[in-house]
Amino acid sequence: MILRLAIASLLARAVTVGMTVLAIALSVALFLFVEKVRTGAKASFADTISGTDLIVGARSGSVQLLLYSVFRIGNATNNVTWESYQDISAREDVDWIVPISLGDSHRQFRVMGTTRAFFEHYKYRQDRVLEVSNGVIMDDLFDTVIGADVATTLGYDVGDPIVVAHGLASFVEHKDQPFRVSGILGKTGTPVDRTVIVSLEAIEAIHVDWQSGAQIPGQSTPADVIRQMELEPQAVTAALVGVSSPLKTFALQRAINEYPEEPLLAILPGVALQELWGIVGIAETALLAVSAMVVVTALIGMMATVFSSLNERRREMAIFRAMGARPLTIFALLVLEAMLIAAAGAVLGLALLYLALMIAQPVIDAAFGLWLPVEAPTLREVRVVLGVIAASAIVSMVPAIRAYRLSLADGMNVRT
């Protein structure tokens, strides 16, 4: 009955209480949304590459190898020779291997040479494969498949010609061998979106008339001639490897790392991603701290509301006292009230969160490739909600102590 009266008392002050509930709801929703984005970003990050057991490159650092081979950030210090590549692919514990050749660019986007196997084995977000949303996977030597961001940023459509520049941010272009867009990939939220994919042979083809990084003056082989040539690459930048059995992963990794002919490095993508997240993860903590401050602000707002209501509620307290309520009961009543407000706010906040998620989920996925799952509240979220209610109880003790003192002094008399 006391609980019912407390609720009735809150309802009687619907407007002010409603505002407070709304403030708490928004802050809780914001906090949980940031939390969702944070975990979603972390998961998306970890999901950048999946299904690949090892990434092989020239010996450098694991994060560096991951950065240039998967995220297309920075450059390889060295290549892997074609002989080594073939040695590895010939091993029987290697189920599949996809070569990656980097070094050229188109506008601000990296050009990656690879084989058709890339489209088969490159997986992201658990087991999703790359899908061509428009056109087909490259067929001809001078065909290219571009990522979703490349297409939207540069306004390319299937059939458009593109010219690849030598190196990065370079003015020297492979003008003699223009490419044709054969397909555009769907949005993945991975670095593939910002990549121009050509065949491994095409990388060789555009460098036919080049030597040690510069075009041989006056020499220009016609495309038809190039098509007839044996275009075997000298080296690749890196390779994605799938093992025949997960048990062999570490043995293969060790074998590659100890490869006698050339200094190579094989990394487990998951482990390297973890390492990298450790570096970029600081920003998310800052974001979380800011939204936590918003929750604290809302709780202090609630405390102010309860405080300012005390004076007009001295009559109510006097009635409770006359009926035999102890000052401690008055204290408990105010704490209970604050907890009810916070609980209502937290639940409403959760509802807001799910509403926002349901509306924003497809938009965020399309725009940022960030997948925010709509699922039952996690233990962590339940803890946040309970934490807010507990914090409200603690915060409300300040006005409750004041009410306790007032009711002790006032007794049943009301001095207005």
Partner 1 sequence: MSQSVLELKDVSFRWPGRTGFALSVPALGVGAGETVMLLGQSGSGKSTLLSLICGTIAPDRGRIDVAGTDITTLSGGGRDRFRAETIGVIFQQFNLLPFGSVADNILLPLQFASKRKARAGDARATAQDLCHALGLPEDVFTAKSNTLSVGQQQRVAVARALIGQPPLIIADEPTSALDATTQAAFLDLLFQQVAGFGTSLLMVSHDPRLGARFDRVISMEDIVQMERATA
Taking CB under 8 A as the criterion, the residue among 48, 114, 329, 392 binding partner 1 is 329
Q: Using CA atoms, how far apart are residues 208 and 228, in angstroms rounded to an integer?
A: 12
Closest CB to partner 1 among 4 and 218? 4
Min separation Cβ 393 and partner 1, Å: 22
Residue 298 near residue 348 (C-beta atoms within 8 A): no
Which residues, in sequence order, are CB contacts of 392 under 8 Å at separation 6+?
24, 299, 302, 338, 339, 341, 342
**Pick from 225, 289, 319, 386: which binds partner 1 (CB under 8 A)?**
319
Tokens of 392: 């409200």
| 169 binding partner 1? (CB under 8 A) | no
Site for partner 1 in 375-414 (CB under 8 A): 408, 411-413
**Based on CB atoms, which residue is closest to partner 1, 216 or 322?**
322
Applying CB under 8 A, among 315, 380, 383, 405 the residue interacting with partner 1 is 315
The 3-state DSSP composition of the chain as helix, strand, coil percent (nearest 5) reads: 55, 15, 30
Residue 338 to residues 98, 250, 272, 296: CA-CA distances in angstroms? 60, 56, 47, 14
Which of 22, 46, 231, 325 is close enough to bind partner 1 by CB under 8 A? Answer: 325
Check residue 324 for interaction with partner 1 (CB under 8 A). Answer: yes
Show the tokens assigned to 48: 């950048």
Which position among 99, 327, 349, 399 is part of the footprint of partner 1 (CB under 8 A)? 327
Of 8-16, 48-56, 66-74, 182-190: span binding partner 1 (CB under 8 A):
8-16
Beta carbons of 215 and 207 less than 8 angstroms apart: no
- With binding defined as CB under 8 A, does residue 15 bind partner 1? no
5 binds partner 1 (CB under 8 A): yes
The answer to whether residue 328 forms part of the interface with partner 1 (CB under 8 A) is yes
- Taking the least distance from each CB to partner 1, the nearer of 109 and 404 is 404
Q: Which residue, chain included where needed, has tokens 């507990």? A: 390
Q: Residues touching partner 1: how many (CB under 8 A)?
A: 26
Q: Are strands 128-129 and 195-199 parallel, antiparallel or unpaired?
A: unpaired
Yes or no: say if 101 and 236 are a contact pair by the CB < 8 Å rule. Answer: yes
Nearest residue to 238 via CA among 95, 107, 113, 106: 113
The answer to the question of residue 280 lying near partner 1 (CB under 8 A) is no
Using CB under 8 A, which of 216, 251, 322, 382 touches partner 1? 322
Q: Which is nearer to partner 1, 227 or 315 (CB)?
A: 315
Q: Which of 107, 175, 326, 405 binds partner 1 (CB under 8 A)?
A: 326
Measure CA of the first residue to CA of the last residue in the chain; give whole Å: 28
Residues that bind partner 1 (CB under 8 A): 1-2, 4-5, 8-9, 11-12, 315-316, 318-329, 408, 411-413
